[in-house]
Amino acid sequence: MFDTVLFPIDRSRQAMDTAAVALKLAQQHASRLVLLSVVEPGEDDPTAVAELLQQARTRFEEAGVSCQVIEREGKPAFVIGDVADEINADVIVMGTRGIAIESDQQSTAARVIQLAPCPVLVVP
């Protein structure tokens, strides 16, 4: 059912909890797993992002799931949607840090839901 699972990862506390859900889904469906890191220009430390990707990749591979890693630069929601389209993702698995109710700003997850070419599984 899910041949390709896209897992956009960031440096939030929820990222590794969400990784467990992405891993389980990939294992259950024998899916191709793609890790995506989106670096916003001037905002993220490339070394820290590379380290995070390596930790996630190691965790997945130790569990018997190989994964592809993609690193991109840009606005996260747009890049996630573009990559999902490029790789023909069947589902995007991502965490959320919530929606700012007092303002007009949406979380990245909320924007991805609007822009994605496939279903989005949001892990609280």
From first to last of its 124 residues, the chain has per-residue pLDDT tens of 899 999 999 877 778 789 999 999 999 999 999 999 998 887 767 777 778 888 889 999 999 999 999 999 999 999 999 999 999 999 999 987 644 444 456 788 889 999 999 999 999 8
Please name the residue ranges forming H helices in 7-107: 15-29, 46-62, 76-86
Two tokens, residue 84: 């999902």
Instruction: Tell me what pLDDT residue 104 has.
Output: 52
| pTM more than 0.75 | yes
Q: Where are the domains of the chain?
A: 4-108+119-123
Instruction: Tell me what pLDDT residue 108 has.
Output: 87
Q: Which one, of 75, 17, 27, lies nearest residue 5 by Cα? A: 27
Q: Is the Cα torsion angle 5, 124, 14, 9 positive or negative in sign?
A: positive
Q: Which superfamily, per CATH, for 4-108+119-123?
A: HUPs (3.40.50.620)
CB atoms < 10 A from the CB of 40, how many?
11
Instruction: Tell me what pLDDT residue 90 has.
Output: 97
Q: Which one, of 77, 62, 71, lies nearest residue 34 by Cα? A: 71
